[in-house]
Structure 1
Amino acid sequence: MITNRRYELDRSDVVSAAGLLELVENSFEEPALRWYISEANQARIIVESTEYGGVLPEPAPEPDSRRSGLDVVVSLVPTGIGCSIGGYAGDAAPVTALLAEVADLVVTNPNAVNASNFIRSGERVLYTEGSCIDAFSRGDINLHRSRGNRVGLIIERSDEAAIEHILNVTNAVRAVHGVNLIDYVITDQPIGSRCVRNASGAYVGSVDAPDVLLKAAQQLIERGATSIAVTTNVQDLVADDYSAHFSGREANPVGGVEAIISHLIVRTLGVPAAHAPMINFKELSLDHAVVDARSAGEIVSTSGLACVLIGLASAPQMQAVRGSRLTDEITFDDVVAVVVPAGALGGIPVLEALSRRIPVIAVRGNTTILEVTAAELGLPGVIEVSNYAEAAGLIAALRGGIDPESIARPMRTLGRSV
């Protein structure tokens, strides 16, 4: 059973990022697959969570935390909250590539670069699902760079024409990109993936038959898969909301349920996973035949699957997998900065980074439907910048050991009163 819940918590006595994280995580009725702070002030916070009534494995013993010697940036683009950059269809790919130019590696969400038939990633970009980023931020896992995963595909039971199209997409990705797709499973019954909209306006999701999903994933892992792609028919998608999304006025309604599906597989089975709609929803009443540029990749693609298969082919593993070609092992101690929209600071990676004194760079130009800012959360140490170009410059300074204060004006003079 998957349930979406909302909590109002008194945070008046909380004075640190670690304390705020503890307050939130002690509030859940059942294990949370995904949560975020949707509203905050000095007296209270509102938390929206998606919780799972089944059994989730306990984290393994903390891994070795030796540094890799690489400078890693975590770039967060939360899905379902209307990020103006990255909340549509792979439209955070250019800023992700920019950050990769000034870092050795960038860890980012699949939705930052996924655009159905299109994807821009690269060797410096680690295509990493959200709950995996959470576990990485906690120090529960390290990330193992992969030279090539064995991808397994779950196809939800559907009509023959849809399944044939999915198999054509899959074969095209194999032939053009060389992805090692070892097998696929068509489920015996529907998985039942559904869009849900929370009180904040953010989109989350639910799954009718999580056991069907996990059974299919387990079958593929037993056949040798080291990453899992899922494609389903997303239900309860309101046509007017989706039309507004393609016009650039609304958050992506599909992103939340995609996150829940991948979180469930990753948390339960410990392999990289990502979801794509089987057939992109096209029954739309649009203001213009030409949609918002940020959504164009989706509108011109029949299925959302190709980018997921390509991304998962090189997604980092959460543990050393026998028979896999792994290279660098990355720890959270390698992270030089976490980059995040300035209004979406209420999540695990940000709070963990602040508690470890890792710089958090908040980008004001990436607006969302939330206003969970450093000021509202009472979090010192967050560095606000106007855009991703400024964020890239700041990362270059951090890598070079240059104090950000020394390149800003006015500059404090020590020993002199104002």
Structure 2
Amino acid sequence: MLYWPMPNTLYVEGYALDQFAEGAWALQPVHQNKVGLVLDSGIEEELQLRHLQVADAARASLGLPVVEYTVTDAPLEIKTWFDPKCGKSTGSVGNSDSLLRAVDALVNHAGVNAVAVVARFPDDDPEDSDCYREGKGVDLLAGVEAIISHLIVKEFKIPAAHAPAVLSPPLSPSVSPRSAAEEIGYTFLPCVLAGLSSAPQYVTRRQGTSDSGCIVANDVDSVILPRDACGGDGALAFSRTARKNKPLIITVQENETVLDDTPDKFSIDAYLKNP
């Protein structure tokens, strides 16, 4: 709810960030995007109405350009679980074709150039969510959220982000301040719409084309990431770039994850930031 855009940041989806790091895509800053909203037909009527009210509020109170919404022609059938090998969250989208058809309709008939998706997620088992809410565990929803946005960005090459539709969890006095922003409303959609409204567009770089006005990987001077999360495509691309002035890779020791992808395992020359 309160994860709001900041003037010195760019709202970039994960797959797009990897493409950017590899030099395949550039980021084109914009004044404002035309945002479309996809709602999972598996969302209950009352919960769907809550999300439509968010879109109305975003338009009326913030002036955000949420121009159209659509409902998928089949429930998306989201499933979530923790990867037994490393403990990260993952899952599946049972009807991904339905999702892509809905996005296609918004892009080609409503002219949107950024898409927010709200899918009905299984309601958490308290044992799975309590650690995360207390600031100590893995977000069970995040893995499938990444799958959803990756599907859209890979296919349509436009900004996309996801907000899960879930029932409100029981009130807890032990919620971490880092998680508290997710506890104060019926939906997670407001910050997604705000972020997408000014997210940079993705420009495919081709030989001989101009990058005028765009941000490219060569503009990056430093990369900051957790010490044990250096195995992603983006981190590897930045660390292995052939340019003379490679970006400084800074890893943060105290920001621990369930991964074990430390710089030494990938021959990454990184600066370690201790607490």
Shared topology, TM-score over 0.5? yes
What residue number does 1:386 align with?
274
User: Cα deviation per residue 1:99-140 (whole Å; 9 max; x = unaligned)?
Assistant: xxxxxxxxxxxxxxxxxx212322221000000000001111
Check conservation: 1:154, 1:230, Cα contact below 8 A.
yes
User: Cα deviation per residue 1:78-108 (whole Å; 9 max; x = unaligned)?
Assistant: xxxxxxxxxxxxxxxxxxxxxxxxxxxxxxx
Pick from 93, 117, 124 the counterpart of residue 237 of structure 1.
124
What residue number does 1:121 align with?
5
User: Cα deviation per residue 1:156-205 (whole Å; 9 max; x = unaligned)?
Assistant: 11222111111111111112221101100012220112212102111012
Deviation at 1:250, TM superposition (A): 1.5
Pick from 241, 257, 260 the counterpart of residue 368 of structure 1.
257
2:225 is paired with a residue whose SS is strand
Q: How many residues align?
A: 261
2:140 is the counterpart of 1:253:
yes
1:142 is paired with a residue whose SS is strand
2:45 is the counterpart of 1:156:
no
Check conservation: 2:33, 2:197, Cα contact below 8 A.
yes
Q: Which residues in structure 2 correspond to 1:225-374 (within 5 Å)?
A: 225-235=112-122, 237-282=124-169, 284=170, 288-319=172-203, 328-356=213-241, 357-374=246-263
- Larger radius of gyration between Structure 1 and Structure 2: 1
What residue number does 1:219 align with?
105
Q: Which amino acid aligns with 1:235?
A: P
Check conservation: 2:123, 2:167, Cα contact below 8 A.
no
2:93 is the counterpart of 1:207:
yes
Deviation at 1:220, TM superposition (A): 0.3
Alignment gaps of 5+ in structure 1: 1-116, 321-326, 388-418
Check conservation: 1:344, 1:373, Cα contact below 8 A.
yes
Q: Which amino acid aligns with 1:207?
A: V
Q: TM-score, normalised by structure 1?
A: 0.60
Check conservation: 2:58, 2:66, Cα contact below 8 A.
no
Supply the distance in 2 between the matched residues of 1:129 and 1:238 (Cα, whole angstroms). 28
Supply the distance in 1 between the matched residues of 2:190 and 2:157 (Cα, whole angstroms). 23
Deviation at 1:227, TM superposition (A): 0.3
Q: Which amino acid aligns with 2:163?
A: A
Q: Which residues in structure 2 correspond to 1:24-43 (within 5 Å)?
A: none
What residue number does 2:209 align with?
none
User: Cα deviation per residue 1:26-78 (whole Å; 9 max; x = unaligned)?
Assistant: xxxxxxxxxxxxxxxxxxxxxxxxxxxxxxxxxxxxxxxxxxxxxxxxxxxxx
- Aligned in 2, Cα 1:378/1:221: closer, same or farther, shift over 3 Å? closer
Q: Percent identity?
A: 33
2:20 is paired with a residue whose SS is helix
Supply the distance in 1 between the matched residues of 2:29 and 2:237 (Cα, whole angstroms). 22
Q: Which moved more, 1:366-375 or 1:261-270?
A: 366-375
Check conservation: 2:15, 2:153, Cα contact below 8 A.
yes
1:319 is paired with a residue whose SS is strand
- Aligned in 2, Cα 1:262/1:378: closer, same or farther, shift over 3 Å? closer
Supply the distance in 1 between the matched residues of 2:174 and 2:60 (Cα, whole angstroms). 31
RMSD: 1.7
- Aligned in 2, Cα 1:168/1:380: closer, same or farther, shift over 3 Å? closer
- Aligned in 2, Cα 1:162/1:362: closer, same or farther, shift over 3 Å? same
Deviation at 1:238, TM superposition (A): 2.8
Q: Which amino acid aligns with 1:271?
A: I
2:271 is paired with a residue whose SS is strand
Deviation at 1:295, TM superposition (A): 1.1
Check conservation: 1:196, 1:205, Cα contact below 8 A.
yes
Pick from 1, 17, 29 the counterpart of residue 145 of structure 1.
29
2:87 is paired with a residue whose SS is coil
User: Cα deviation per residue 1:276-314 (whole Å; 9 max; x = unaligned)?
Assistant: 0123541x4x7x524111111111221111110110001
- Aligned in 2, Cα 1:133/1:216: closer, same or farther, shift over 3 Å? same
Deviation at 1:249, TM superposition (A): 2.9
1:330 is paired with a residue whose SS is coil
Q: Which amino acid aligns with 1:381?
A: D
Alignment gaps of 5+ in structure 2: 205-211
Check conservation: 1:205, 1:258, Cα contact below 8 A.
no
1:293 is paired with a residue whose SS is coil
